[in-house]
Structure 1
């Protein structure tokens, strides 16, 4: 890493790679990559809150979301608009076009944070952080809910993530160069987490329970929703880094940790069964399209536990 996050992010300037330089790079991820195997697996959805939450625990990114999106009125809609272009950067037969499209969504996302300093979504430090949360999701959710990854596989996924990042056409000046550096970088970013308005709002359902439909009396909903809230407050909260649970004031204890560990162990145990599902069911649509186009069944690939 050549630039410290706290220093680089305050430049608040976009770091866009020259188009000719980008076109000269033979960038593409393919069916032989671990990212293709796992990034579009439906079980990654269990990490949705870790992905969106860790992103928005960094003040500059959260402020950009608050200033330039409709997260407070259409939380799920924003997720649906963000996910497909990112997934198509991995699985499309035009990855650079989709990567640049993701980048260009962010050209005008800029403003100031509480201390008056500026931010820009295409600042390399801020843009790489957003990317890092997707990389972390693949690494963590696969290792937790699909199968244990070997050290070599984690290194491979990180190295493939460097190609993924290049497809966006944003400067890699803050990108870690090794998997070990990425782990250190991740921990250093977790230590910068703050309770932003965006993330406190987005995790309200984990503190208070999922709100019920207007037509159902509140006492009935509290009873009906108890299993759902128990699942969310154990499994979804369990996916979060301790630093995020702390800033979001999400209760956690050894008992919940044991329940979470048992659920994760169960998910890994049933992986051979889940892996027999039809590819259309096992993968999100954009990943399924990629596998179908390649004419490859991904289910027999990369299944041996570490």
Structure 2
């Protein structure tokens, strides 16, 4: 049964805002460097992948699904605390329920299912910052996690599955990756272009796509596959190897380097952050 949180965020969390690390990293445009990591990992939870398979336009129009999903999630983070963006996201999912192939029922608002979706975004922030910006300290990881607890509670869904601290989150994440996630067809579809090539986006002419795709497809495959945890790569049978891993780590090290960060930090806000983050920072 759906469990909805009734209380305000307790004192075990940290606030979101201009001084928070979640704000600093979640809307950073360098986030594209990790590829579709959170979306693919979300769909590797069988119940969540089945919900997308049964209810989403993901297969018919992937871009439309992404365009519809990202703004309310971003505004849950960067919107005003009393804006209700999080509960609107929750309410989008009320009717996403059905039967698994084995006959078990699923619901997007099951706390364990909902928290996994959130956990992939939290891990996205941690992975992105530590891989492409700077090596995070243990205190910074703890801070990001405690800020993410405030973020999660804005959805108004039970926080029963939410670990108390970052160490607990690490244990939760390792258990999910090692024992729970599967190569659900929805997740396989989401990374199919790694081997088959990316389909021509709507609005791009066939001629333009023939010119661009020979460069775009290998770059997209490199970022997507490199940006996945090794366990997910194995389950999804994504092609990788020691040479590609060395190239990926070298690529990430360049982005983490002081000269690149120095240049990035001096670019205009409109280049460094997406529009949702810009709105949040402008509001202060």
TM-score (norm 2): 0.91
Following TM superposition, by how much is the alpha carbon of 1:234 offset from its aligned partner in structure 2, in angstroms? 2.0
**Quick one: which of 174, 197, 207 aligns to 2:195?**
207
SS at structure 2 position matched to 1:225: helix
- What is residue 277 of structure 2 aligned with on the other side? 287
Residue in structure 1 matching 2:267, options 245, 266, 277: 277
Moved more, 32-41 or 91-100: 91-100
TM-aligned CA distance change 1:24 to 1:149, over 3 Å: closer
Q: 1:258 aligns with which of 246, 262, 265?
A: 246
1:81-130 Cα offsets, whole Å, 9 max, x none, are 11111111111124550011111111111111111101111111000000
Distance 1:204 1:23 in 2: 40
- State the distance in 2 between where 1:35 and 1:288 align: 14
Q: Which runs of 5+ in 2 are unaligned?
A: none
Deviations along 1:134-193, one digit per CA (max 9) or x if unpaired, are: 000000011111111111100100011111111111111111111111111111111222
Q: Which one of 229, 236, 257 corresponds to residue 248 of structure 1?
A: 236
**Secondary structure of 1:72's partner?**
coil
Which moves more between the two structures, 189-198 or 115-124? 189-198
Paired residues in the alignment total 277
How does 1:114-153 map onto structure 2 within 5 Å?
114-153=101-140
Cα distance in 1, alignment partners of residues 10 and 188 from structure 2: 43
- Which ranges of structure 1 fall in alignment gaps of 5 or more residues? 1-12, 295-306
Pairing of 1:77-88 with structure 2 (within 5 A): 77-88=64-75
Distance 2:174 2:82 in 1: 30
Select the residue among 225, 235, 249 that pairs with 2:223. Answer: 235
TM (norm. structure 1) is 0.85
